[in-house]
Structures are given as C-alpha cells and as structure tokens.
A and B are shown apart, each in its own frame.
Chain A
Amino acid sequence: MGVGSDFPILSTIVAVPVLAAVVVALLPRSRPDLIRNVGLAASLAVGVLTVVLAIDFEAGVPGYQFVSEHRWIEDFGISWILGVDGISLFLVVLSGVLFPIALYGPKVHKDLKSYVAWMLVLEAGCIGSFLSLDLFLFFLFFEITLVPMYFIIGGWGYENRVYASVKFFLYTLFGSAFMLVGMLALVYLSAKGRAPVTFDIRELADRGAVAGNTARWIFLAFVAAFAVKVPLFPVHTWLPDAHTEAPTAGSVILAGVLLKLGTYGIVRFGLTLFPQAAVDLAPLLLTLAVIGIIYGALVATVQKDLKRLVAYSSVAHLGFIVLGTFAFTNQGLSGSVLQMVNHGLSTGALFLLVGMIYERRHTRQIAELNGLQKSMPLLAAVFTVVMLSSIGLPGLNGFVGEFLILIGTFVTHRWWAVVATVGVILAALYLLWAYQRVFHGTPTGDNVGLPDMTRREKTVMAPLVVLIVFLGVYPKPVLDRIDPSVDRLIDHVESRTDYRQPPVAADLGRNVRAAERGIAAQRAAREAEGHQDAGEDHGGAGEGGGEGEHGRVDE
C-alpha cells in the first residue's frame, strides 16, 4: 500500500470534515472567502484521500480492508470500527467527489458560514456511515446525517422549504425508530447465553443468532429504515418535496449520497445479518422495487417542475438498485453497487444543471422554459450527455449498472426483470420529453439570450462528465473491486440458506466462455465436430441443473 499501512486513513477521512467544520464555526462571519476556502480545502482533501484509498485498495480481496478498530464503550460491546470493502469503497469515493463539487458549484446566497459547516458535518456523517462496521456507530452516523440535511433544506431551500424539511426529518426518523428497536433486539438476542455483547457486524453476521420469524421481523425493522431512505414505494413521497425545495447542493448530496445510505444499508446489514429473511422476503421487496421503477417513471412524465421530475426519476432509478440487490446474483448485486455510484453521478449532475438553469431563469417550471439550446449550446450538450446517461444509453455509465441489474435479476426472477425493463422505455420518454420542452423550440420571452456556462460551472461539470463517460466505456477497474466483495456476500447468503445462485450467474459462465473460446479456435480451423462436448456441458447449465459451481478460470 502506498500510504503506510498503519496510517489510519479511514479515521482521517471521517475526522477531517469534522475538524474543518469546527474550524469554520470558529471563523468570523465577516470572512466569507476564508470560510469557503477552508470548506473547499477540507472537502478536496477528503476527496483526494478517498481517491488514494481507491488506488491503494487491493482488487481481488473480498474482505474488509484498512480496518481500524478502537474500543469505545466496552460494557455494551460498542467499538469504533471502520473498514472498507468493494461494496462501500466507491460510495466513499463518490462522496469524496461529490462534496467538493456541491460546495464549490452552486452559489450560496446567505449565511455561508453555517452552510459550509453543515455541509462538512454532513460529509463526515455520510462517509462515516459507509465505513462503519459497528452497528451502533453506523446508527450514530446514519442519524447524524439527518440534522445537517434538515438545516440545509430548511435554511437554504426554496418557498416550501419548511414543510419539506420537516417531512424529510420525520419520515426518516420514523423509519429509524424501527431500526433502533431491531438493532437492540438483534444485539440482545445475539448475546444471549454464551457470547459477550457486541455491535460488531462481522461478529454478528458470524453468529447468525436470530432465525425464522424473529429474523424476519428484525429484518423488516431494518428495511423499514432503509426503505424510507432509498426511498422505496410507497414511502417515497418525502423525496420529491425534499429534492425540490432543497438548494442545489442539498439536492446533489441528497440524491447522490444520502439515498445511497438506504440501498447500502440494505446490502450491508439486511443481506449480511439476515440472509434467510432476505431470501424469504425477496419477492416482496422485488415487487416494491418494480412498482417503484414503473411508478416513479410514470409520475415523472407528468411533472411540471423540472426538479421534481428529476426527483421522481430517482425513485425509478433507486428501484433498479433495490431490484438488483434482491436478485441475489453476482450481476444483480454488482450492478446495484455500481448503479449507486452511477446514479450519484448522473442525478447529481442533473441537479447541478437544473440549478444552473434556475440561476439564470429563476424558475423550474418546465412550461416557462423553452429553446434554451439556442443560447446555451454547451449547457444543452452537457445536459444531453447526462440525460442519456440517466436514460441508460450504452457507452455511458448508467447502462452498465442497469444492464447488470436486469440480467442478474432475469436469471433468478424472470418476470420482475421483464416488467422492470419497461422502465427503461419510460425513462427515455420522460427525460426526452422534458428536454424537448426545455431546450428545443425557439426561445421566447426571458429565455432569449441567456449566458452559457461560466468557467466555474464548466469546472464543476467536467469531472462528472468525464466519469460518466469513463465508467460507461471502461467500468472494469470498478467492477473488479466490487466483484470479490459481492461474491463473498453471496457466498455468505448461500452458506446460511438453501438458496443457490444459478450456475450461469456464478462463475460457471466464465468456464463456458473459456470452453467456447476453444471452440472458436477449433471452428476457425474447421474442426467442425469439436463443439459437441462443450455444447452438452453447457446444456446442463442452461437448464439450471448444472452440478454446481465450477472453479474460476483465470484468463
């Protein structure tokens, strides 16, 4: 590892924004530039650290890396345990990238000091949640994120901000209450008799102390909290309000990072701690996810407010992520993890762009906008790229995740995947229609002669666009890091339940490929009979009746 292996990089990543927030709080209000620079420097430093983390992260290692463990409240088995694996790694990087952008991009019109301080606290909360391996610590960070977000929406939002922020807060808190109970129940039941009390999720997962109905109830309690956060239909209605009323940076972080706490929580805690319950209840969650996909898309088509439209598109996209999670295949889960990152990038970018339009026109009503492409060709071009990524155009990032999710779901839950694929059509419909109404046509009234993107705006969008294209063309470095951890998680689920991943989805596919490469060579050499055995070998796999997993073939 490049950074000395005893350097506590994870704790540093969490601590830097907190310290910076304290510093910002101590700075005088009269020095806005200084405040901004401190905030930006801190978030950039975190960004750099996360990138360093990603580079030092060893691909191919399935377990947690960079674990830093300190005792905290020993009597209750609560510790400060941070660690990162392939599932959380890119969410941390995503936070590291999005926060500086959100801090630097949109202009802040009042009380910069509190704003920057809250944003930094938020950053620490988000990253802390992704890194915590202690249930209690996670809960702490998870709840901490609420407070700054509440103030950011309520303080710097638009007309209806108070309603939106209270709704956001109460909705989320409502879910968390279940989780708190579930968490305590789990820890209590796990500690009964033999073992000491612990909140360490690695230990809890190993013990697997709860089972049957108990596990299902506790699982549901966890899912309640995460479902609100995701948000899953039908507990999604806080999202459009919060997104619409939040300031641009708030929306970016909310969509880009905060929602991922929900999906990440389901993967990390739901699947790891309650494998059997997760498998049992998968149909329910898959159904909710599919409803979310279709429903979010339908509702998005008739929105009159551009920001609300993007918010509903998030509901649909997050539905895909949950779908892939409960597909219980390598592809589905990897796709979900990747899609969390993709959605953060593309929806974050969309919110930034909508914010830029708002800065110029002071309206988000689609009906009041038209012909913007005429005067803002660059902004329109960037919007097009981001939109196409959100639609899931191959070659851009959205497609890779979406496709993996759908194909992974198809092999285990065929009809859910079929219905979800309809969502792909609808995504094109609502976004293109919105684009047409906003950017196409001949500009009239106030829409004439608007200035194109400023340098600052270009600086902000450039990294996002680059990442959108890069992850679409070459997602392999990311997937290579995600895959082993996902593999491990699925192995964990399989070892605790009767569930078995279909052989095509597991490594067998690679075997087949290796075999068929042989065939191709033979075929080229015109040894026509060469393909018989491999064909038969594969036939079993196709019917799902293969003898189980084959070893991995390295190429």
Chain B
Amino acid sequence: MTLDGGWYLTLAAVLFTIGAVGLLVRRNVLVMFMCVELMLNAVNLTFVTFARMLDDIGGQALVFFVLVVAAAEVVVGLGIIVSIFRRRGGTTADDLHLLKG
C-alpha cells in the first residue's frame, strides 16, 4: 500500500509543532537547539513530499541546501553552546540575556 501525501505532510506539521513548542517552552539551550533541528527537518520532509507530489526535483534540491546550512549551523551553534557551558557551568537560556536593551 502507498501512503497518501497528506500523511507525510501531517507528520511534518506535527514534527514542526513539537519543535516550535519545544523551542518556546524549554530553557535548556541544547534542547532548544535540537528543537530547531526538528523544525528544519520537518520542513525538509514537506519539501521532499511536495517534490514527489508535484514531480518537481527542485524541492529535493532545496533540501540539500537546508541540510548543508543546518550542518554549518550546528557546528557554529554547538561551538557557542559548548563555550557558554564551559564559561557559565550551565546552559539555561534565561541566564543569557546580555543583549537586553
């Protein structure tokens, strides 16, 4: 049996919502970071689905870009988080409000 495209999209929406809510409610920077990844991948999933449904390779190609950017982002982001962890001994997002206006 083949699953209808709608299921994939639903899954992607659920994943995205989990990621978004997680980003909003969690305080741990590492977890928030993973939530962002979750959202990115949810979007990737929709891209691939639509590419398949519309028979357009462009969607899949774009996923590669997203993956690359996400990888780069992970590298930089994790680096920052690690250095914060070392300096502060914790990664609670609320403790980090140096940019308060």
- A–B contact at 8 Å CB threshold (below): no
